Chain A
Amino acid sequence: MIARLISTIRLGFKSLMLHKLRSGLAMLGIMIGVTAVIWLVAMGEGVSYQAQQQIKDLGATNVIVRSMKPSSGSATGSSFIIEYGLTRDDYQRILEGVPSIRRAVPMREIKGDARAGSRESEIQLLGVTPDYRDMNHLIVERGRFLSDRDVIGEENVCVLAAGAATNLFAHENPVGRKIEIQFNGKSDVYKVVGQTADRTPSAAIGGSLAGRDFNTDVYIPLTTLRLRIGDQVITSRSGSREGEIVQLSQITVTVGEVEEVEEAAGIIEILLEKYHPLGDYAVVVPSELLRQAEMLRMMFNVLLILIAGISLLVGGIGIMNIMLATVTERTREIGIRRALGATQEDVIIQFLAETIVLSAAGGMIGVVFGFGCIPVTYLAQTGLERWLPEVWSTLPTTIRDLQPRIAIWSIIASFLISVGVGVLFGLYPARRAAMMDPIEALRHE
């Protein structure tokens, strides 16, 4: 049985080698289809892996509550100063009201500028508690992170994120140095006590589309921020002055188990609803985001399979076309074989074997080219970065950091589909060959 299979395949291969160019062109369709499937799936998997990592960084057992600026006109307060968002009372309410709570980390963030000597840099000023480090898995590269004593003592100390440190101190050690941060027309000096390691951006939360970049963060004790800057921050942007009063930008609530996340989120909603009729906050559940991302990925894959199906269909039609021509061309050979004892089945098997060899070979070459996805993407990325830095810098980080992940299922599926296409599209020409009248076939010129 196996010997017969091998000899049939060998015969098919032999016939195909008679017309190398023709066979090659027929294979091309399948090859491109398979390569395209593997590439697209690998890209998609790469992107979704990135997104999932980012969401996982937010913590699966976390519920993130963020202050949201209400749409203009609905805020309370005077015309150019709006007051919104989470309050320290909300923090207390959450601490007391959520039974499964392990930890709640309050945080206030403001965009601003920092200066060190002659260097100035745009920063993200974060008032935090020592828990913030644990919660975000920050790695302290130099010095230390903020301590409880810093918070209690309302000390003028700060920890720089890697990017901020580089911007302000180039590659010197920032620990022990001083930086100056100005808000509301008043400037304060902070002593740098530590610097954190580089951190990848996280997924977008709280409705904003852009991922959050942590590299320009400057961390100071939450209490210090309140003392030195206060809840009200006035910024002047392009001539007009804007102000906002926000007590806390975010409260990150950690519960014990992933299963408790939903319930905790529900309780928080109920606790806050009463005090925030304007809905100036958002409750984000990273595990929910993860589910959504997973859904998105599945939809994307279905779409890809559809596209792949179409391209393989086109490839299959190409093969069928070639096989029909081959059958006509080899009518005489079919007649000879029939006269010498080949049954209709033998003829079907012979031609089917040829189509399957053709499509499977196309599929295999396609798989080989499919593996080219990773080096080609890498070359394209480094090439762009090197030769076209202007273009490179305008690309979103998703593309710049994209690492294609070849999915095993895409290889197996596309290869099997290509063989299936061979069977499907080979059947008609093979049947046509088998149904020929041997007498007519022998007489064919």
Chain B
Amino acid sequence: MRMAAEFENLEKHYHLGDVVVKALRGVTAAFPEGDFVALMGSSGSGKSTLLNLLGALDRPTHGRYILGGYDVSTLSDRQLSQVRNQLIGFIFQSYNLIAQYTVLENIQVPLQYRPGRPPISSRDRNRCLDLAEQVGLSDRLDHRPYQLSGGQQQRVAIARALLNDPEIILADEPTGNLDSKTGAEIMQILGKLNREGRTIIMVTHEPDIAEQAKRQIYMRDGMIAGEGIFPG
């Protein structure tokens, strides 16, 4: 089975003054294409650090991270930016839309940073419109984030994450700011995307959300403490 992402013996150390904090102490895992994983663990367990590494927002101190066949662990800042733009789709707890942009403009943001920075074509625009339709926001294209509900904002973020057809989708507590009904709607969308073949890695601390993933990885003290497959 082709691996969307895999890492080997990842370590991440931080320097806080003279103290070295080992946030990750050798994590090895593999995510085959079409996987849907919930990363769980208490705060300080290293799951956020792992997510940052997965998102190419940071580089590991030791170890290898292969994303879509590329070794990402040793890339420059510039190359990491390109990896984020081309291979990763982010969904955040607090949606992270750009406040002054409309729904359509928010979906288009990753296009601004494509390699070579070509201008946005009508084909690009049509793709954005399709994505907006997929997440049910066709009638809200000219709205700005403050005019939308939390669920609608998260759907904009999902459309934005899909724009570049990413290798993996990283969702950081995607339902954390939503009521259970809206949260369920978002999880439905994620589930649908996964059935369509997308690889999703999701951080959550809510067991009933984690349940909806194919498998769960538990982290503790910077290491993988256990793995479970639902149902089971």
Contacts and interface: CB of A to CB of B under 8 A. Distances in A.
A21 interface: no
Contacts of B58: 439
Contacts of A388: none
Contact of A346 (B55, B90, B113): B113
Interface in A1-42: 3-4, 7, 14-15, 18
Interface in B143-171: 160
A3 B100 contact: no
Nearest to B113: A341
Interface in A389-445: 438-439, 442
B118 to A, nearest CB: 9
A422 to B, nearest CB: 21
Interface residues of A, number: 23
Nearest to B76: A343
A66 interface: no
A333 B99 contact: yes
Contacts of A18: 100
A379 interface: no
B32 to A, nearest CB: 25
A344 B82 CA distance: 11
Contacts of A336: 96-98, 109
Nearest to A341: B85
A337 interface: yes
Contacts of A442: 57, 92, 96
Given A7-B119, A344-B77, A344-B78, A339 B96 contact: yes
A340 B97 CA distance: 11
B57 A439 contact: yes
B110 A341 contact: yes
A339 B57 contact: yes
A341 B84 contact: yes
B90 A340 contact: yes
A341 B82 contact: yes
A165 to B, nearest CB: 73
B188 interface: no
Contacts of A115: none
Interface string B105-149: 000011011100101000000000000000000000000000000
Given A341-B86, A442-B92, A14 B110 contact: no
Question: Which of A338, A342, A343 counts the most chain B CB atoms within 10 A?
Answer: A343
Contacts of B77: 343-344
Interface string B182-217: 000000000000000000000000000000000000
A332 interface: yes
Contact of B109 (A332, A337, A438): A337
23 contacts: A4-B119, A335-B96, A337-B113, A338-B57, A339-B57, A339-B84, A340-B84, A340-B90, A340-B109, A340-B160, A341-B82, A341-B110, A342-B113, A343-B82, A343-B113, A344-B77, A344-B78, A346-B81, A346-B113, A438-B57, A439-B52, A442-B92, A442-B96
Ranked 7 nearest A-B pairs via Cβ: A341-B85, A341-B113, A343-B81, A3-B119, A340-B110, A336-B96, A342-B113
Interface of B: 52, 55, 57-58, 77-78, 81-82, 84-86, 90, 92, 96-100, 109-110, 112-114, 117, 119, 160
